[in-house]
Structure 1
Amino acid sequence: MSHVTTHVLDSGTGRPAAGVAVSLRGPDGGEIASAATDADGRIGDLGPDRLPAGTASLRFDTGAYFAARGQETFYPEVVVAFRIDEEQGHLHVPLLLSPFAYSTYRGS
């Protein structure tokens, strides 16, 4: 399993957000991996088994997701920065999304 996974839910529709492009950037700012959410809104294989300690981020292409549905959105992208400690195991970073709001939390 990847060190980092994500799950995107469209709270406006109450359904998983399929087809959201996501990129993972490591502590040095370079892109490590990219993928799109599956039909269940999940990406279970995003990057390596381990990442170095530091601040990493996930970039969600929310603009393209909403444009494909013919919806306006205030947020063309969402970037979630998070800290990786040396001892941390798996990190799950979900995103709850609507056209004019979003929230995130540390999942398990």
Structure 2
Amino acid sequence: MRQGIALKKIVEYVARKASMLGQKYNLEDLVTPSIVPMFDKSIDKIVSIIVRNSNGLWCGLCEKGPFTKRGLYLHLIRVHSKDIEYMVHDELKKLLEVVKK
């Protein structure tokens, strides 16, 4: 249960970062402190996939746009939250495998 809540907060964190909005949460509060630097790089990689910044903000997943910052955030949360959740879960799994070794 706690993992699901944390994952939803991470999805919101990613959507806010992609939309260039201020953050509600600190990444250190959402994941283990030992993986924060590596996970921050993974989030940057995810952000580069889900947002395209040419003549406005465009969704990199469905190519809709242009959006305002808030509009992109709402679009990502309402339409692509499961996609972002899958991407975050996949990145977390990769990081935890690296840390275990």
Query: Common fold, TM-score beyond 0.5?
Result: no
Structure 1 or 2: larger strand share? Answer: 1
TM-score, normalised relative to structure 1: 0.33
